[in-house]
Structure 1
Amino acid sequence: MSVSALLRRAALVGLTLAGLAIVAAPMPSHAFDPASTAAINLDKDAVILHGYDAVAYQTQNKAVKGMADYTATHKGATYRFVSAANRDLFKANPAKYEPAYGGFCAMGVALEKKLDGDPELFRLVDGKLYLNVNADVQKVWSGDIPGNIAKAETNWPEIKAKAPKDLN
């Protein structure tokens, strides 16, 4: 590996660690529970994706806040939607729309952490929804999406039943 490649890799690691340090402080707009051992990132009302419509990511390629009038429950999580049509699409194929890693940050999982996923910082990769905790972390994750997904896929079975606070 060349010196420039090593420096670039060291810079990415530094950015990742800096981004993770930023998320150590609680985020008041999200109801992330660092003591929960659940494999799904839910708020206190069991709502996933902070209430954003899981179908809109796929159909509109954007984050759209769902409404309490249109909901569906899947694997113990309450999903909110902008319309009955989106709710019905989800009910017909929930696996197509549910977020990777239960809605936890994809880069966090690649680094053996369970961090809150920001529903506005998302990427669709091969039809799957991935969230990141903040823009800096998303930038690092985007630098090697296939590699980071591979790491996360390896790590997820080991960490999904652990509390975020227990993952050092």
Structure 2
Amino acid sequence: MKARFATLALALAVLSGSTAALAVKTTGGEYNTLYAGLGAKGYDVVAYFADGKPTQGSDKFTATYGGVKWQFASREHRDAFEADPARYAPQYGGFCSWGVAQGKLFDVDPVNGWKVVDGKLYLNFNGDINTTFANDTKGFIGKAERNWPALNR
């Protein structure tokens, strides 16, 4: 019940135009680096593809892409990322995909809010928003694709 209320509250805040509730900022830059300047909050973005689950990265295995520091759980994952970073980097600069579909930039929960669709990584605000995103993935991706250019400036 609490989870549904939180999701409803977020949706109402977004629909009412409130940017104070959970909004990160109104314009992007290329990547979400709100957590210590790290991409994907320091989670290994290759692990979502290779292992099918979120895995915390290590400062032992890092790469820089798009001016952002990315961490990995292993040398192999780091090397895979360096060989093709665009393949592994999250969509919409690592901001909440559902939020981008709403025309807003929200932070993400890389543990409970993620989904790989057609070989691309989408991060979301939390597990509840991730479920909402999953209920109409193609629709939300379509909206996010239209909104991202204006947000990413």
Q: If the TM-score is normalised by the length of the shorter chain, which range does it land in? A: 0.7 to 0.9
Report the Cα distance in structure 2 between the residues aligned to 1:54 and 1:36, rounded to whole angstroms: 23
The answer to whether the aligner puts 1:24 opposite 2:49 as a matched pair is no
The C-alpha deviation readout for 1:85-136, integer Å capped at 9, x for no partner, is 1100100010110000000000000000000021111000001000110122
Question: Matched residue of 2:71: which SS?
Answer: strand
The residue type equivalent to 1:89 in the other structure is A
Matches within 5 A, 1:11-160: 17-20=8-11, 21=13, 24=21, 34=25, 37-43=28-34, 45-120=36-111, 121-160=113-152
The one-letter amino acid of 1:126's match is D
SS of corresponding position for 2:110: strand
Gaps of 5+ in 1: 1-13, 27-32, 162-168
SS state of the match for residue 141, structure 2? helix
Higher mean Cα deviation, 16-25 or 117-126? 16-25
* TM-fit CA distance, 1:142: 1.2
TM-score by length of 2: 0.83
Report the equivalent of 1:6.
none
Tell me the distance in 1 between the aligned counterparts of 2:10 and 2:151.
20
- What number of residue pairs does the alignment pair up? 142
Supply the RMSD in Å over aligned alpha carbons: 2.4
How far, CA to CA, are the matches of 1:25 and 1:111 in structure 2? 13
Unmatched runs of 5 consecutive residues or more in structure 2: 15-19
- 1:46-103: CA deviations, max 9, x gaps? 2111100011010001000000010000001111001111100100010110000000
Query: Which portions of structure 1, spanning 4 or more consecutive aligned residues, are displaced by more than 6 angstroms?
Result: none
Q: TM-score, normalised by structure 1?
A: 0.76
